[in-house]
Structure 1
Amino acid sequence: MNRMKKIIELTKGSRLLYAIAIISIGIASFIAMVEPMVIRVTIDSIIGNKPLNVPKPVENLVQVLGGRETLGRNLWICSLILVSLTCVRGIFLYLKGKLSAQAAENMARNIRVRLYDHIQKLPYEYHIKSESGDLIQRCTSDVDTVRKFFALQMVEIGRAVFIVTFAIVMMSSLNKKMTIIAMCIVPIIFIFSLIFFNKIQHNFIKADEQEGVLTSVLRENLTGVRVVKAFGRQNFEIEKYEKENKKYKDSIYKIIYLMSNYWGISDFLCTIQIGLVLMSGIYFTVNGDISLGTLVVFITYETMLLWPVRQLGRILSDMGKMTVSMGRIWEILHVPQETETRKALKPEIKGEICFENVTFGYEEDTPVIKNVSFKVNKGETVAVVGPTGSGKSSLVHLLLRLYDYNKGSIKIDGVELMDIERKWIRSKIGMVLQEAFLYSRTIKDNIKISKLDADDKEVKTAASMAAVHGVITSFERGYDTIVGENGVTLSGGQRQRVSIARTLIKNLPILIFDDSLSAVDAETDKIIRQKLKEKSKGVTTFIISHRISTVMDADKIIVLNRGMIEAVGSHKELINKDGVYKRIWEIQNSVDNLENENVACNE
């Protein structure tokens, strides 16, 4: 019942098309049942001398056409009737195919839109934990499997029901004994099809899941191709892919093996059924129990009847695939979207931020930020430093409400952060990540992503602030240069600077630089910071970095260690205190001095 509800929900917006398609296949099936009856009347009553035992409308039609004698002398009229019926049936079959395909495409489009929309609104935590290759497979291959079922097999179920119903009624009207013989093996084939369906469905699940694994391996390899090349890992990657590909091949071979068994056994049962009808029909015809025309009708009906029953296995197998794919799609659609925890306010954001005893952990029993308290005034530049894993990135993730804190309070301009709408606060905070992601578009398009209506002057101003304008203009096509997938044609530092420009083009009250200057040289780092200081007066800025030279000019430096604040102060204050900051400064200072000595010696 639950599956049926899901199927009905999926057909929303396409139900009328499906209804007309099913009506069309019903009419086509009825005409298909009438055609053998025309042959029977022709053999028994037009060519032969049997009484014209037909419904009154058909008898009137015979009289209009000139009667039995006229039709006997002009058999082409009977042929023309058969051809006309076939043409009409073809029209309804065409309608069935067109409408069902159109309905299935509409439904597939709606599913894709619904999936994409839902995925965009899922929590950040879900995306972190999910395999992107598996998500891609569910949004493409699984949707296509559902589409194919609704385009091809959905109306075939209606066709099978119509043909079996019409065949039983018409055969019963001719001879009940022959009808029983014609139907005796059909229930066996039906039960065998159900057993086959239950047997093969598990294999469909395994094959679908393995296809997702294969897609993930391929995506990872293509995304990390530079790492693969750099470390000479081609053979390892090929072996890994071949291993997963073999598992996928084995799962498909298992399905093929089961389906070949089904088709072989069902063919054997269908052949027995046709043989029984043929032998029994000949026996009854010789004894005069049925006419030759009736025998032809029964043989024709039997072949027409066995085809949809035999096709039941294919319908059920495709239904198994569809059910598995639909289940995987619904797994995504059933994941709760991000919700507003409280009031969803949209206050004016100026940039004053206050942390009070904030505790947060990705796992409830394992906090990564412990009892953190500090205040940032509007327009201040605050640096956050500390060892790897000390909670620096987690701290700013809380500001964007990618995660919600477990305990304590974060207030922005006096308003509790959890009371502010997620989308609103994210629209007021610009964040530049260490791993800059660029789209396979022009540099201009990448910079304008955060502000689509920006003009060329704004784009160039933002690029100048990010110290990347000169680099861009040195390219042959300038700002119209295609950067390739994930900005692969640019260096790491160039990607970071384009990412910074993308954030700066939108004048925001709060900026966060999460180690986003790590790939640029010290001189470029200094230029960017100076331009940011000139441009971003009144803008609250967070800078996360491991490089002391990047954070030393900050108004306030927060030192995190093991999720707790170890010290807060200016650069001068912190280098005179024992602790993490002083140790980092001493190490980096000694390295810089050593490099300067080496340069002097070389000169």
Structure 2
Amino acid sequence: MVTIVSPLIIRTTIDSIIGSEPIGSNFLERLIQYIGGRAYLRKNLWIIGVLLVFIAVLRGILLYFRNTLASKTAENTAKNIRDSLYDQIQRLPYEYHVKAETGDLIQRCTSDVNTIKRFLSIQLVEVAGSLFMLGFVSYTMFKLNVKMTLVSMATMPIIFIFAFIFFSKVKKAFEASDEAEAELTTVLQENLTGVRVVKACANQKYEIEKFDEKNKDYRDKTYKLIQDLALYWGASDFICFIQIGLTIVFGSIWAVAGEISLGTVMAFSTYVNMLLWPIRQMGRTLTDMGKAIVSIGRIEEIFNENIEILNGNNEKPEIKGNIEFENVYFEYEKNTPVIDNISFSVKAGSTVAIIGPTGSGKSSLVYLLARLYDYNRGSILIDGKELKDIDKAWVRKNIGIVLQEPFLYAKTIRDNIKLANPNIQDKKVYESAKIASIHQDIKSFDKGYDTYVGERGVSLSGGQKQRVAIARTIINDCPIVVFDDSLSAVDTETDISIRKALNNRKNKSTTIIISHRISTVSEADEIIVLDNGRIIQRGNHEKLINEKGLYQRLYEIQNSMKDLEEDIKLHA
């Protein structure tokens, strides 16, 4: 509104103060008389200049408050979206995270959210301002001169149609560019996560080539998008210049003919720019809106995923540690069983070991027990209660799992061990570390338990990370503890020490040990041998080594390897 006043003041000055045209407005007439009249203003045109400067300053102040408010609103909206996204991702089931690409999720939570924020803080405000401007400018122009207004708007329908067609065509280019950026982010994330493997395998050349390929694809798709945008801006500029030219030419002709005043021509030359600018900007608005729509769609895909209900109305019984599998059947893909009608039972406080070749279904049993996946058929009972009837969060609180690939956060060792219960006493931390045979290693560090382990525990060895993860799990005194091949990175003596310490604990937990190593499972109360999702052998160590089958073959192979290692040491 403030912007529209300036051309009217210039028109009045040229036509009615410098010239002799009637003012045509009672309000302006009274205002001029109040200031001192036309003759006074004609001798003191600096007053008009000061008034124009004041209007410009006022417009600047209003724009500042508008942009500040818009930016604050957009930032708060972006924060709320990020919070909601993070909350949604935390609640998504394990199965989703197994299939999702980390780099793609990161890009959706950062780049896509920022795209929406930019649209809200800049373009959405511009759209509202442009519509307001178009309405007032059009009304003012029609009031001044209908014929000049029609000339000044002659090419605007063409710009509207061109912008609409452009938007519908370029949307796919936005999506392609966005997806290419997501793939690039994924490659970068994977490389940085596995940089030690890359260094160890001297695989830098391959990684550089892989990144370069994705980078080129992103560049090409983005360049195609830029070409489309350049075509739009070039064409729209050409049409706008034609419109400005038409306004000036026709305005000059009619001014010379005496049909309109010179001040009206000056006002229209300003107003036509005010009209063309928002219409021309509509291309940028549609461009950013296209990006925002694509980003909203990508974010909606996450929100449309079904979350995992951890705290439902299910039971929360006291768990002592009795486990029973009854004809359990499970498949990741249809008609491809991973667990095929398995039945076995574990008594509270006992130790059961599961051994078998890779892909036999050992880890899948753990996932089913912790309800990371739900079995298709059969039943799993904990202390006589059907597992699916027990609250998921309650199940996971009472089942401690030490994974094969331990994950440590970029915190101190103390914080990592106390992760599930930050308020637990340090005495309990030390006890758990001793059981995990990591206490002495920690004490040897300069800062002891306050040693910062770095991202993913990079400053610790593989065995040390596994033992910290074991301490983190057993500190909670869960009635059921599962070791998913989590002793593979420790030497045999440490393995024995950990298992003895676990057996000597008060309130001994039900323990399930998954391993490839015979020495790790040999002292279990019962050993279950899996192959292709089925139990092919079961019994204690003495029984199985004397029974022809997979366990006996593994025992013989590992014994031969052990003898070979000892011979090498003797002759070294």
Same fold (TM over 0.5): yes
Q: What amino acid maps onto 1:556 in structure 2?
A: E
Assess if the C-alpha contact under 8 Å between 1:342 and 1:418 holds in 2: no
Query: What is the rounded CA distance, in whole Å, between the counterparts of 1:340 and 1:408 in structure 2?
Result: 22
- Give the TM-score of the pair, scaled to structure 1: 0.93
1:443 offset after TM fit, Å? 1.2
Query: What is the rounded CA distance, in whole Å, between the counterparts of 1:362 and 1:60 in structure 2?
Result: 84
Query: What is the rounded CA distance, in whole Å, between the counterparts of 2:197 and 2:564 in structure 1?
Result: 30
Partner of residue 411 from structure 2, selected from 441, 460, 466: 441
Q: What amino acid maps onto 2:136 in structure 1?
A: F
Query: What is the rounded CA distance, in whole Å, between the counterparts of 2:184 and 2:312 in structure 1?
Result: 42
Partner of residue 105 from structure 1, selected from 75, 80, 89: 75
Query: What is the rounded CA distance, in whole Å, between the counterparts of 2:380 and 2:329 in structure 1?
Result: 10
Partner of residue 5 from structure 2, selected from 34, 39, 42: 34
1:284 maps onto 2:250 in alignment: no
1:234 offset after TM fit, Å? 0.8
Partner of residue 455 from structure 1, selected from 402, 425, 440: 425
1:70 offset after TM fit, Å? 2.3
- 1:61 aligns with 31
- 1:324 aligns with 294
Partner of residue 240 from structure 1, selected from 199, 207, 210: 210
Query: What is the rounded CA distance, in whole Å, between the counterparts of 1:52 and 1:389 in structure 2?
Result: 91
The 3-state SS of whatever aligns with 2:352 is: strand
1:213 offset after TM fit, Å? 0.6
1:494 maps onto 2:433 in alignment: no
Assess if the C-alpha contact under 8 Å between 1:343 and 1:419 holds in 2: no
The 3-state SS of whatever aligns with 2:332 is: coil
Map 1:13-92; keep pairs closer than 5 Å.
30-54=1-25, 56-92=26-62
Please list the CA deviations of residues 347-368 of structure 1 after superposition, one character each: whole Å capped at 9, or x if unmatched: 1111111111111111131111
Map 1:186-335; keep pairs closer than 5 Å.
186-335=156-305
- 2:484 aligns with 514
Query: What is the rounded CA distance, in whole Å, between the counterparts of 2:369 and 2:308 in structure 1?
Result: 16
The 3-state SS of whatever aligns with 1:372 is: strand
Assess if the C-alpha contact under 8 Å between 2:311 and 2:393 holds in 1: no
Query: What is the rounded CA distance, in whole Å, between the counterparts of 1:507 and 1:32 in structure 2?
Result: 71
Assess if the C-alpha contact under 8 Å between 2:361 and 2:530 holds in 1: yes
Assess if the C-alpha contact under 8 Å between 2:7 and 2:270 holds in 1: yes
Please list the CA deviations of residues 221-249 of structure 1 after superposition, one character each: whole Å capped at 9, or x if unmatched: 11111111112111111111111101111
Assess if the C-alpha contact under 8 Å between 1:47 and 1:72 holds in 2: yes
Query: What is the rounded CA distance, in whole Å, between the counterparts of 1:87 and 1:536 in structure 2?
Result: 78
1:62 offset after TM fit, Å? 2.0
1:142 maps onto 2:115 in alignment: no
1:131 maps onto 2:116 in alignment: no
1:593 offset after TM fit, Å? 2.3
CA 1:243/1:536 → structure 2, altered by over 3 Å: closer, same or farther?
A: farther
CA 1:200/1:158 → structure 2, altered by over 3 Å: closer, same or farther?
A: same
Identity of aligned residues (%): 55
Moved more, 568-577 or 268-277: 568-577
The 3-state SS of whatever aligns with 1:476 is: coil
Please list the CA deviations of residues 80-111 of structure 1 after superposition, one character each: whole Å capped at 9, or x if unmatched: 22222222222221111001100100010011
Moved more, 185-194 or 572-581: 572-581
1:601 offset after TM fit, Å? 4.0
Q: Unmatched 5+ residue regions in structure 2?
A: none
Query: What is the rounded CA distance, in whole Å, between the counterparts of 2:284 and 2:136 in structure 1?
Result: 22
Map 1:439-588; keep pairs closer than 5 Å.
439-535=409-505, 537-588=507-558
Query: What is the rounded CA distance, in whole Å, between the counterparts of 1:353 and 1:359 in structure 2?
Result: 16
Partner of residue 138 from structure 2, selected from 168, 178, 181: 168
Query: What is the rounded CA distance, in whole Å, between the counterparts of 1:396 and 1:517 in structure 2?
Result: 16
- Give the TM-score of the pair, scaled to structure 2: 0.98
Assess if the C-alpha contact under 8 Å between 2:102 and 2:186 holds in 1: yes
1:455 offset after TM fit, Å? 2.5
Q: What amino acid maps onto 1:339 in structure 2?
A: I
Q: What amino acid maps onto 1:36 in structure 2?
A: P
Assess if the C-alpha contact under 8 Å between 1:341 and 1:419 holds in 2: no
Query: What is the rounded CA distance, in whole Å, between the counterparts of 2:568 and 2:61 in structure 1?
Result: 87
Map 1:336-375; keep pairs closer than 5 Å.
336-339=306-309, 343-375=313-345
1:536 offset after TM fit, Å? 5.5
Query: What is the rounded CA distance, in whole Å, between the counterparts of 2:475 and 2:391 in structure 1?
Result: 23
Query: What is the rounded CA distance, in whole Å, between the counterparts of 2:387 and 2:556 in structure 1?
Result: 37
Assess if the C-alpha contact under 8 Å between 2:502 and 2:508 holds in 1: no
1:256 offset after TM fit, Å? 1.2
- 1:403 aligns with 373
Assess if the C-alpha contact under 8 Å between 2:310 and 2:393 holds in 1: no
Please list the CA deviations of residues 164-202 of structure 1 after superposition, one character each: whole Å capped at 9, or x if unmatched: 111111110111111000000011111111111122111
- 1:6 aligns with none
- 1:26 aligns with none
Please list the CA deviations of residues 395-419 of structure 1 after superposition, one character each: whole Å capped at 9, or x if unmatched: 0110110000000111111111001
Query: What is the rounded CA distance, in whole Å, between the counterparts of 2:55 and 2:161 in structure 1?
Result: 34
Query: What is the rounded CA distance, in whole Å, between the counterparts of 1:467 and 1:537 in structure 2?
Result: 19
Q: What amino acid maps onto 1:297 in structure 2?
A: A
1:60 offset after TM fit, Å? 2.5
Query: What is the rounded CA distance, in whole Å, between the counterparts of 1:117 and 1:209 in structure 2?
Result: 23
Please list the CA deviations of residues 249-296 of structure 1 after superposition, one character each: whole Å capped at 9, or x if unmatched: 111111111111111111111111000000000011111111111111
Q: What amino acid maps onto 1:518 in structure 2?
A: S
Q: What amino acid maps onto 1:222 in structure 2?
A: L
Please list the CA deviations of residues 459-479 of structure 1 after superposition, one character each: whole Å capped at 9, or x if unmatched: 222111111111111111221
Assess if the C-alpha contact under 8 Å between 1:108 and 1:144 holds in 2: yes
1:117 maps onto 2:113 in alignment: no
The 3-state SS of whatever aligns with 1:145 is: helix
Assess if the C-alpha contact under 8 Å between 1:342 and 1:419 holds in 2: no
Q: What amino acid maps onto 1:287 in structure 2?
A: A
Q: Unmatched 5+ residue regions in structure 1?
A: 1-29
Query: What is the rounded CA distance, in whole Å, between the counterparts of 2:383 and 2:124 in structure 1?
Result: 58
The 3-state SS of whatever aligns with 1:517 is: coil
1:597 offset after TM fit, Å? 3.2
Query: What is the rounded CA distance, in whole Å, between the counterparts of 1:415 and 1:457 in structure 2?
Result: 35
Query: What is the rounded CA distance, in whole Å, between the counterparts of 2:175 and 2:426 in structure 1?
Result: 51
1:63 offset after TM fit, Å? 2.4
1:340 offset after TM fit, Å? 6.5
The 3-state SS of whatever aligns with 1:368 is: strand
Assess if the C-alpha contact under 8 Å between 2:322 and 2:382 holds in 1: yes
Q: What amino acid maps onto 1:559 in structure 2?
A: V
1:421 offset after TM fit, Å? 1.3
1:342 offset after TM fit, Å? 8.2
Root mean square deviation of aligned Cα: 1.4
- 2:357 aligns with 387
Assess if the C-alpha contact under 8 Å between 1:341 and 1:418 holds in 2: no
Please list the CA deviations of residues 351-393 of structure 1 after superposition, one character each: whole Å capped at 9, or x if unmatched: 1111111111111311111111111111111111111111000
The 3-state SS of whatever aligns with 1:440 is: coil
1:72 offset after TM fit, Å? 2.1
The 3-state SS of whatever aligns with 1:554 is: coil
The 3-state SS of whatever aligns with 1:358 is: strand
CA 1:341/1:477 → structure 2, altered by over 3 Å: closer, same or farther?
A: closer
